[in-house]
Amino acid sequence: MISNIRNHTLVACSSLIIGSGAALSEIFVSKIIDSFLPDASFITHFRRKGSITILSTNGEVIQKIGQATREKVSPGLMPSLIKKAFISAEDRRFYKHKGVDTWGIGRALAANFRKRGIMEGGSTITQQLARIVFLSQDRNFLRKLKEAALAYKLERQMSKDEILEQYLNNVYLGSGSYGIADAAWVYFSKSPESLTLGEIALISGLAPAPSLYSPLINPDLAIQRRSIVLLRMRQQGFIQQKEFESALRSPLNLKPANPKYLKSAAPFFTSWIYQQLPLILTPEKMEIGGLKIRTSLNLQWQKKAQEVIRQSAPKKMEGALVAIQPKTGLVRVLVGGKNFEKNQFNRATQALRSPGSTFKIFPYAAALSSGFKPEDKFIDAPRCWYGYCPKNFGNKYHGKVSLADSFTKSLNTIAVELLHQIGFEKVITTANQLGIGNDQQLGRYYPLAIGAYEQTVLNMTAAYAAVANRGRYNKPTPFEEIRGPENELLWIYDSNHTKGVQAIRPQVADTLNWMLQQVVKHGTGKVARLTTRPVAGKTGTSEGGRDLWFIGSIPQLTTGIWLGYDNNKRTRRGSGEAAWAWKQFMLKIEGDLKVLEFPSKGIL
């Protein structure tokens, strides 16, 4: 009796020891294998290679580039019926297996053997998620082993619902849709929670072969696939017989739409982004994907600016508008034309246009820097400089005038006289320090003083922003912050942007800014006056009215507007129209801006 007890005890102890050892060995082996596999937490930050999300300064999506899930269902909000449909279609034993379904693999092999073709797959939803996030789509034995190992690890690190939701947000479902929310929009112009049973069954049937089963390509085949999914849902008790029969009879009722954020909400601005991005990120960082770029753009202002340009440039006339924050150089608005889809040429950043009298800030700034004062007198009369004989607008001359009044009246003769007295070198150096003439050299000819050398709207607006910023020039930039695929900070404006360059002395800038205010109060820029706040600005018209300009500042924003024809045809209009357009834009946005005062006129 005692011997039997001893034997039973020995067997029990041995079993316990062996079982514990086996369990510990399994845990040990699992940990070793896990150490070579990526962590499941990466899934929450997963972005496909080369994908970029461009955001406004307020975090609104402007555009999503590449193979990106453009809209996701938030955790915990995935509709239950969608989950059931995909389980029926892709992985009927999802809640029973631990990542790999050996029973399902056997069933699939048997079915494929009977039908002599690949009719069913053996991959679970967990395996598919592992493949989407961590692996390639290559079909080979090594990849299948990795897929299985990753699936087991995901099941240990994530809950079933987390796995299912991540899968539903990332699986490719055809026509550029990645995830259920994208597919609901692309095929039916709906949100996921608005889908009918028939629509859910159709979308869930797409996963194995999205191009083959797409209702946009093969509607009859899509309906057949939908029927299979509905039948499986009925067999698993996910839907009632009446629901099943009703969904079987329902028409497709497709309402196709482009994937959300496929087209940019601010295409002229984002086209500039593409040009600037390689200047601050390496090709490797751009290629890895998952970039999230927070830009300087105020999307609401951008839309209002677009409206103003369309209204201000009738028929074949074109326009551009740029708004810059003077203290930072951050570009808050950039419109490069009326219709990006018809013409992608960016008139804000690419078009070189004669700036007319808006260029006069450079000879006047150089004159003030050289010791001239606003009250100094000059003679406004017809004259020539080495064969160059400029004329004032309307052939009007005013005799003895102060420097300030000559600027207010935009007298061409005085601008050329200043250039003659202080010399080309000082005027060109001043313009260069304010960001003008560095890409294309300014010539040493007298027409320089009144805007003979073509410039971009972006660069001219940045120069005026520097004057509003007490002479400190900030190179215009569209970037505030860039983050990588795991939300790591790659670039931030505060750390990478210098405090600008003191292009002209603060006293000179303040005096010039005061003179610009007189232009709006009493001169050619009167039409741009705002009753609520001070405005400093200048009109500009090239010969024949081919280019109409107004660049104006309030203390916290400088906005430049150009109107004209792409073929340089005469507009037969005046720069007052550009000033009027400037005012219309400011009236739309001024409620977002505090009323501030400029610094008082500088003592030179």
Q: Which two tokens stand for residue 359?
A: 């260029």
The beta strand positions in 463-507, using DSSP E, are 472-473, 479-483, 489-492, 501-502
Q: List, in sequence order, the alpha helices (H) in 469-575.
A: 493-496, 506-522
577 is known as an active-site residue: no
Q: Report residue 233: phi and psi, to 5°.
A: -65, -40
Residue 388, Cα to own-chain centre: how many angstroms? 47
The set of residues, in sequence order, having a beta carbon less than 8 Å from that of 411 and lying 6+ positions away, is: 380, 392, 398, 401
Cα separation, 477 vs 164, in Å, equals: 41
- Judged on CB neighbours under 10 Å (0-12, 13-18, 19+), 66 is middle
357 is known as an active-site residue: yes
Buried b / exposed e over 547-580, threshold 16 CB at 10 Å, is: bbbbbbbbbebbbbbbbbeeeeeebeebbbbbbb
User: Which residue among the candidates 51, 71, 88, 90 is catalytic per the annotation?
Assistant: 90
The set of residues, in sequence order, having a beta carbon less than 8 Å from that of 23 and lying 6+ positions away, is: none
CA distances from 255 to 141, 226, 252, 521, 523 (A): 41, 17, 9, 55, 56
- Beta pairing class for 536-541 and 318-324: unpaired
Q: Is the dihedral of CA 372, 378, 382, 383 positive or negative?
A: negative
Q: Which two tokens stand for residue 289?
A: 């994907």
Question: What is the CA angle 529-532-535, rounded to 5?
Answer: 40
Rg (CA), the chain: 34
Q: Taking Cα atoms as reference points, which of 315, 20, 71, 334 lies closest to residue 192?
A: 71
User: Which residue among the candidates 264, 354, 357, 410 is catalytic per the annotation?
Assistant: 357
Q: Three-state SS for 27?
A: helix
The set of residues, in sequence order, having a beta carbon less than 8 Å from that of 303 and lying 6+ positions away, is: 265
Question: What is the CA angle 267-342-456, rounded to 5?
Answer: 60
The beta strand positions in 279-366, using DSSP E, are 291-295, 318-324, 331-335
CA distances from 480 to 272, 275, 289, 538 (A): 15, 16, 18, 29
**Cβ neighbours around 93 below 10 Å, total:** 13
User: Long-range contacts: 95-102, Cβ < 8 Å, 24+?
Assistant: 95/160, 97/124, 97/126, 98/152, 98/155, 99/124, 99/126, 99/127, 99/148, 99/151, 99/152, 99/153, 99/154, 99/155, 100/124, 100/126, 100/127, 100/148, 100/151, 100/152
- Judged on CB neighbours under 10 Å (0-12, 13-18, 19+), 32 is exposed
- Judged on CB neighbours under 10 Å (0-12, 13-18, 19+), 76 is exposed
CB of 226 closer than 8 Å to CB of 239: no
Q: Which two tokens stand for residue 151?
A: 């699936």
Q: Residue type for 180, please?
A: I
Catalytic residue annotation: 90, 357
